[in-house]
Amino acid sequence: MADIKPVQNSIKAEMEYFEDKFSQLMKSQVFLLDSVMRYIVKRKGKQLRPMFVLLSAKACGPIGEPTYRGAALIELLHTATLVHDDVVDDANYRRGFFSINALWKNKIAVLVGDYLLSRGLLLAVDHGDFELLRLVSRAVREMSEGELLQIEKARRLDITEEVYFEIIKQKTASLIASCCAVGAASAGASAETIDKARLFGEQAGMAFQMKDDLFDYGEEEIGKPRGIDIKEKKMTLPLIYALQQADWLEKREIISIVKSNQPSKKQVQKVISFVSEKGGISYTQEVMKHYVESAKQTLATFADNESFQALSTLVDYTIERNR
Amino acid sequence: MADIKPVQNSIKAEMEYFEDKFSQLMKSQVFLLDSVMRYIVKRKGKQLRPMFVLLSAKACGPIGEPTYRGAALIELLHTATLVHDDVVDDANYRRGFFSINALWKNKIAVLVGDYLLSRGLLLAVDHGDFELLRLVSRAVREMSEGELLQIEKARRLDITEEVYFEIIKQKTASLIASCCAVGAASAGASAETIDKARLFGEQAGMAFQMKDDLFDYGEEEIGKPRGIDIKEKKMTLPLIYALQQADWLEKREIISIVKSNQPSKKQVQKVISFVSEKGGISYTQEVMKHYVESAKQTLATFADNESFQALSTLVDYTIERNR
């Protein structure tokens, strides 16, 4: 198990400075908005994205104010998409807390998401960080396009691996790619190094999403609930691969469960067992590890030894975490 | 009645060029997204905002590609907020067409709104239009903050005129102010002229929103449905003023209707009559005309005779329209 503690300690002061800056940014004169913002700050997550920004900056030069602004911009965008996602999925919980839509209704959640997006935009515009905007704005587009591509394609039961990779590249990897590119750029890296950092982030982000998709098939004993993707008819790599290995009869049975509107607990378990038996879990783990290896190879082309260690550990952590 | 036709004819070619550019921008590789985009282009509205951009540019210099990009960016943002507003208000119709959430569900509508926002952002970033971004990004923030301020305050029955003006300045006038500032800037205007154009747009935008709020009290015989704001407990100037003029007993009766969860048709009619009798309509019309006059005075400080005529007519139209 990758020990993330030493990495966290190595940028403890920087992360604290970032979090302080982020809280300041979230203040608002509008009382209602300020209440929501304080709640969001309180229930913060693992902060992986700011860590990718800070560590990528460190790999390329000194961390400075532009680095912190980059991390804040990305965290604002990420938070905005989470708030909107919970509306979209009608989710009542996020990270063990109530979601914004659960506490304040959809109306407010949609507007708060828009506010967070614009807050990030303004932060960059006010400081003339146009390179930062350029690096990030493509990710914003790709994320919403990726989610829509997923809605369109991932419920088609004949989805191919290629389409799956395209979806996770857009909806998840593009933002982590931007984290690393922004970090590198903020520390004065060359265009070539920024491109390498982006590729590293993209590869790490692909692995990150595969790990998330594996949770749904109960790879780990503890942690996230299982079978959610199945109930939502969302086809991810473990199931896509397993179906390829199945004969016509098995395929028909599994597909009829996934297609049904409210599969029973037993039926969901049936799909989970099927995926495991057909090697869907181990295949996805293999591909995920392949992306991690590629990420490390890319990382080695621009990071010194210390930064290589820190970012490698962060990548290992993203695929070994149990939540 | 202001005749808008000659104004429309004076920029017919430019508007057609803009609309063509806008349709191109709305294309997407993702089939689902492309379908939604084609629907949005088809049900386009009065296009007042692009007209404000183009005419403000014309008042300050030649219309060029940056002008069209500015108009497109603003129309993208405006469309994004409309798509989100319909989710927020659970509205099934917009401009006589079904809303996006009615046809494709909330999930897709939220994502499409985000996509439109990012599409606008990318358009400006890709062309290095950072001045444009600077002028527009504040409006994006103010719009969401204004809507949230409205949710927080406009349902309090003791809302003051000052708070009402603050809300409509943020949620409506700020975007029309940006239209005019962006138009002026795109035609190479000085910082001083850009500021004047912004002020002109803000004053025109205030009048525009008051006209919208008047519709709810049935100032016109035809046109928009009445009583919606009352049912949503949204306090606007006609009612705020009327309540100030009422005695304690009348106030109590009207407030109990507005507070009730499902006021009857007769009760809503009661509030509408009350507002009219207490002079809420004529007071709001007076204030609206005052803003129109101020807008024209501001306009005269930077526009030549021809542009003055065109933009004056556009402002007159915004307060005389019947939909």
Q: What is the mean pLDDT of chain B?
A: 89
Contact across the interface for A148 and B33, Cβ inside 8 Å: yes
What is the predicted pLDDT for the residue at B223? 53
Q: Quick one: pLDDT band at residue B251, thresholds 50, 70, 90?
A: very high
Averaging pLDDT over each range in A227-231, B47-51, B227-231, which range is the top one? B47-51
Instruction: Identify the CA nearest to A318 among candidates A196, A207, A157.
Output: A207
* Residue A114 near residue B81, CB atoms below 8 Å: yes
Q: Which CATH architecture has domain A5-300?
A: Orthogonal Bundle (1.10)
The token pair that represents B62 in the structure block? 């030649």
Q: What's the confidence (pLDDT) of residue A223? A: 53
Q: Give me the DSSP letters along B41-99.
A: HHT----HHHHHHHHHHHHHS---HHHHHHHHHHHHHHHHHHHHHHHHTT--EETTEE-
Largest CA distance in chain A: 62
Prediction ipTM score: 0.77
Q: For residue B28, what is the nearest residue in chain A, using CA coordinates?
A: A145
**A271 interfacial to chain B (CB closer than 8 Å):** no
- Give, rounded to a whole angstrom, the gap between the first and last alpha carbons of chain B: 14
pLDDT tens digits for range B179-207: 999 999 999 999 999 999 999 999 999 99
Exposure class string for A102-128: b at 16+ Cβ within 10 A, else e: bebebbbbbbbbbbbbbbbbbbbbeee
Would the pLDDT of A104 be above 90? no
pLDDT tens, position by position, A32-65: 888 888 888 887 778 899 999 999 999 999 999 9
Per-residue pLDDT tens over the stretch B14-37 = 999 999 999 888 888 888 888 888
* pLDDT value at B121 more than 90: no
Q: What is the pLDDT of residue B97?
A: 77
Tens digits of per-residue pLDDT, B162-173? 999 999 999 999
Q: Is the pLDDT of residue A17 over 90?
A: yes
Q: How far is CA B262 from CA A160, A227, B86, B230, in A?
A: 51, 41, 21, 10
SS3 call for A93: strand
- Confidence band (pLDDT; 50, 70, 90) for B250? very high
Residue B222 confidence (pLDDT): 52
Q: Which CATH superfamily is domain B5-320 in?
A: Farnesyl Diphosphate Synthase (1.10.600.10)
Element (H, E) at A245: helix A237-245
**Predicted confidence band of residue B58 (pLDDT cuts 50, 70, 90):** very high
- Token pair, residue B195, equals 């500021």
Contact A106 B108 (CB under 8 A): no
Q: What are the structural domain ranges in chain A?
A: 5-300
Q: By C-alpha distance, which of B141, B114, B77, B155 is closest to A28?
A: B141
- 3-state class (DSSP) for residue B157: coil
* Nearest by CB: B140 against A81, A121, A130: A121
For residue range A124-177, list pLDDT tens digits in order. Answer: 888 888 888 888 888 888 888 888 888 888 667 778 999 999 999 999 999 999
Contact yes or no for A130 and B134 at CB 8 A: no
At A219 the pLDDT is: 55
- From the list B28, B87, B141, the residue facing A118 with the nearest CB is B141
Nearest residue, CB atoms, B144 vs list A89, A106, A118: A118
Q: How far is B33 from chain A (nearest CA, A)?
A: 7
Is 90 exceeded by the pLDDT of residue B67? yes
Does B122 contact A137 at a Cβ distance shorter than 8 Å?
A: yes
Instruction: Give me the percent of chain B exceeding a pLDDT of 90.
Output: 52
Subunit contact B141:A119, Cβ cutoff 8 A: yes
